[in-house]
Amino acid sequence: MDFLICFQHQKPKTPLGDFKVKVLKRRQIHIQTAALLCALQENGASEEQIQAAWRERLEVPISEDDQFLVKSIMRGMCPEIKPQKYLLY
């Protein structure tokens, strides 16, 4: 009697699938930009003024990472304001 045993190399299963972890470093420019945007929005600035503040503070085109960091800081700094409603162009 001959037996054939086959082993198939399989990747270990991960419960969440393939994912990557990205570490973002919050810098002073992100904190200052968030403070400026909170102040502008609390004082009723126009959308054009808010857009100009984004462009003046951060390098254009503004990266998704910078946007995420500023909006995250704003959520803690001025939670009554919804920073996600101000999209960048």
Q: Which two tokens stand for residue 33?
A: 């930009």
Average pLDDT over residues 26-43: 94
- Rounded to two decimals, the pTM is 0.70
Taking a C-beta distance cutoff of 8 angstroms, is the pair 70, 37 a contact?
A: yes
Domain tally, the chain: 1
Domain for residue 71, yes or no?
Answer: yes
Let me know if residue 9 belongs to a domain. Answer: no
Q: Is 14 inside a domain boundary?
A: no
What residue numbers bound the domain in which 69 lies? 28-85
Q: Does residue 10 fall inside a structural domain? A: no
Dist. CA 16–CA 54, nearest whole Å: 35
Q: Give the pLDDT band (50/70/90) at residue 43.
A: very high
Is 16 part of any domain? no
Among 77, 84, 64, smallest CA distance to 33 is for 77
**12-32 pLDDT per residue, tens:** 655 666 777 788 899 999 999
- Can you state the angle between helices 28-42 and 47-57, rounded to 10 degrees? 170
